[in-house]
A and B are shown apart, each in its own frame.
Chain A
Amino acid sequence: MKKEYLNSDLDSFLAKWLEGELTDQEFKNLVNEDDYNAFLKIRHGLHVRNLLDRPTDATFSKIQDKIQSKKDKVRPLYSNWAIGIAASIALLFGLFMFLDIGEIIIETGFGESKTIALLDGSEVILNSKTKIIYDEDNWIKERKLYLDGEAYFRVTKGEGFVVITNNGTVSVLGTQFNVNSTTDFFDVVCFEGKVGVKTLQSDHVLYPTDTFRKINGNNSEVSKTLDKMPAWVNGESTFKSVPLRYVIKALEEQYQIEFDDKSISDSDIFTGSFPHDSLNVALKTVFETLNIKYTEKEKRNIKLRYKE
């Protein structure tokens, strides 16, 4: 039997049934069977939709929770780095402030020379490939510097002036002198005043024109020079009875070149000069007299061999 009712009544029954205020049986009694079956399917559909909706929301929530938790893990890591860097900067700044580091390092490159005015009015001229290190903050109290290479000093009168090298120490009182100290070559020339030279093996006092030299660990010797100042200050390198390999090294440092000198004897002793402004003339002045042929193998690499 088909039941007849108004739409408003149906809506009311339907709402109450879906809300659970009417049991299935009560609702079945109020509507016809076809409608009831249709409503059952709709309610089932709604139930399934709710079930489908629920896990989606949960998954979304879980993903959000995971993102949130990941963000929470990254944040402290970043913060630690930032704190670390800030702390390091603060520490270094503090060290500089408290330790008062005033170390000055001055270097020259190939073929370069530099004139440095020191705080006490003294002057140092550095030849090519030379390095000096000194403490600017303590300079007035202690005039002391480290030298690797060759430098000419014009020292103002004062408490003392010490040049420390790997080969020995040079100490003076207001004077002019030249120090050339490389790995196994140590040469000190006094041009004015008095210079003390101290090595592991001996102590010497040099007066004007005196030259102290120690080569390759051999016994040191003191000789005289006629020069008024080192020639390199005026753009020339001068050597007096020097093993050729030191002259070759000086050429390399002056002109930024390399020599293939495997076939050259280490016993050749050279006296002479080369200019700093012409490689061709420099090569000729050094090697022509020694009967050595020089040929450019590749750019800035020169092969040396004795002429036939």
Chain B
Amino acid sequence: MRLIYVLVLMLLPILAFSQEEAFYIEFKDVDLNEAIGEIEDIYNVLFSYKDDYLIGKKVTFIRKKRTLEETLHELESISKLFYEVIYKRYIIVSL
């Protein structure tokens, strides 16, 4: 049990760090749902959305380092959708 606590304590900063840390991201005219899948893997987050919202939307990001907040902000302006982060790793997409 003690070992589990230690592992959790070790993992927590890593999880938090992955969202605050900046990563290189680049998209060239990719489907928004595909881009979201990549962002989930990179920042260890999970998006929730209605599939209809993403239909026909494409994303292009020039290559540069971005934090999660910066990525979502840029995504908002491109997709015309809102992204709200709750409970640290769930991102709700809305119109």
Contacts and interface: CB of A to CB of B under 8 A. Distances in A.
A88 interface: no
Contacts of A284: 86, 90, 92
B87 A271 contact: no
Contact of A226 (B37, B47, B51, B53): B37
Given A226-B41, A275-B87, A284-B86, A270 B50 contact: yes
Interface stretch (A52-60, A167-175, A286-294): A286-294
Contact of B50 (A236, A268, A274, A281): A268
Interface string B25-40: 0000000010001000
A56 to B, nearest CB: 85
A270 B92 CA distance: 12
Given A284-B86, A289-B92, A273 B48 contact: yes
A141 B39 CA distance: 46
A273 B46 contact: yes
Name, among A238, A270, A289, the residue most crowded by chain B CB atoms within 10 Å (CB to CB): A289
Given A269-B51, A289-B48, A275 B90 contact: yes
Contacts of B95: 291
Contact of B90 (A226, A268, A271, A285): A285
Contacts of B86: 281, 284-285
Given A226-B37, A281-B87, A284-B86, A272 B94 contact: no
A241 interface: yes
B22 interface: no
B82 to A, nearest CB: 10
A290 B50 contact: yes
B48 A286 contact: yes
Contact of A289 (B37, B49, B87): B49
Nearest to B48: A272
Contacts of B51: 241, 269-271
**Interface residues on chain B, size class:** 10 to 19
A269 B52 contact: yes
Given A281-B87, A284-B86, A284-B92, A271 B47 contact: yes
Contact of A291 (B33, B47, B94): B94
Contacts of B41: 226
A68 interface: no
A205 to B, nearest CB: 25
A221 to B, nearest CB: 14
B46 A272 contact: yes
A270 B48 contact: yes
Determine which residue in B86, B90, B93 has the highest number of CB atoms from chain A within 10 A of its CB, and name it. B90
Nearest to A281: B87
A273 B37 CA distance: 13
Given A281-B86, A284-B86, A272 B47 contact: yes
* Cβ-closest 9 pairs across A and B: A272-B48, A269-B51, A273-B46, A281-B87, A285-B48, A285-B90, A289-B48, A288-B92, A289-B92
9 contacts: A270-B50, A271-B49, A274-B48, A274-B90, A275-B87, A285-B46, A289-B50, A289-B92, A291-B94
Given A272-B47, A272-B90, A275-B87, 12 more contacts: A236-B46, A269-B50, A270-B48, A270-B50, A271-B48, A273-B90, A274-B48, A275-B90, A281-B90, A288-B84, A289-B93, A289-B94
